[in-house]
């Protein structure tokens, strides 16, 4: 095991700094290529996990807004969905930031939305206690609607 490979296991920050120095100095033959590739791959996975997680939360709240808000607003006049709106706004903003920082993720949006949707339905079902079959089998919102700051679905 090379010194850098050992350093990767014992002091990640120093390992990263040393590899950066080697890159700047164009000393490519001294790099810890195996761990660098692993880290680069993990960075991509992390962005995709964040995209999935934020889409799941956003779509679940859009579903709750569409399918439960009217019922709750009828029962309790003071219920206006303010906390749901705050979550929708926050998730949209965080997603916009993520896509600005990692624009390559835009090409995966349709797949990511389809992958997040079943989890969003499960979450909305658990939180609202509405029957799971009350929600559409496929995501009823387009990518444009999901990211539109003015879009709040109606039943």
> Would you say 88 and 149 are in contact if contact means Cβ atoms under 8 Å apart?
no
Q: List, for residues 68-110, the tens digit of each pLDDT value.
A: 866 665 555 565 667 888 999 999 999 999 999 999 999 999 9
| Between 6 and 148, the higher pLDDT residue | 148
Query: Does residue 60 carry a pLDDT above 90?
Result: yes
What's the confidence (pLDDT) of residue 59?
A: 98
Q: List, for residues 118-129, the tens digit of each pLDDT value.
A: 999 999 999 989
List all residues 6 or more positions away from 62 whose beta carbon is below 8 Å from its beta carbon.
88, 141, 146, 152, 153
Mean local confidence (pLDDT), 145-153: 96
End-to-end CA distance of the chain: 61
Cα 150 to Cα 53: distance, rounded to the nearest angstrom: 22
Query: Does residue 21 carry a pLDDT above 90?
Result: yes
* pTM reported for the whole predicted model: 0.76
Q: List, for residues 131-145, the tens digit of each pLDDT value.
A: 999 999 999 999 999
Which pLDDT band holds residue 45 (cuts at 50, 70, 90)?
confident
| 3 state DSSP class of 141 | coil
| 46 CB neighbour count, 10 Å cutoff | 11
Instruction: Tell me the torsion sign for CA atoms 143, 146, 149, 153.
Output: positive
Most confident of 3-12, 14-23, 35-44: 14-23
Give residue limits of the domains in the chain: 46-147
Query: Does residue 17 carry a pLDDT above 80?
Result: yes
Q: Whole-number mean pLDDT of the chain?
A: 90
**b/e 53-77 (16+ beta carbons within 10 angstroms → b):** ebbbbbbbbbbbbbbbbeeeeeeee
| 100 CB neighbour count, 10 Å cutoff | 8
């Amino acid at each position: 095991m090379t010194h850098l490979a050992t350093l990767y296991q014992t002091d990640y920050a120093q390992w990263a700094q040393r590899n950066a120095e080697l890159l700047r100095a164009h000393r490519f033959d001294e790099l810890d290529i195996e761990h660098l590739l692993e880290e680069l791959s993990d960075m991509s996975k992390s962005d995709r996990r964040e995209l999935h997680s934020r889409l799941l939360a956003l779509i679940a709240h859009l579903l709750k807004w569409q399918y439960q808000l009217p019922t709750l607003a009828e029962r309790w006049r003071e219920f206006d969905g303010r906390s749901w709106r705050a979550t929708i706004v926050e998730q949209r903003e965080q997603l916009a930031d993520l896509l600005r920082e990692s624009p390559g993720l835009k090409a995966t949006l349709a797949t990511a939305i389809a992958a997040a949707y079943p989890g969003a339905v499960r979450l909305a079902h658990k939180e609202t206690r509405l029957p799971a079959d009350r929600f559409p089998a496929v995501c009823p919102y387009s990518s444009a609607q999901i990211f539109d700051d003015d879009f709040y679905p109606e039943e």
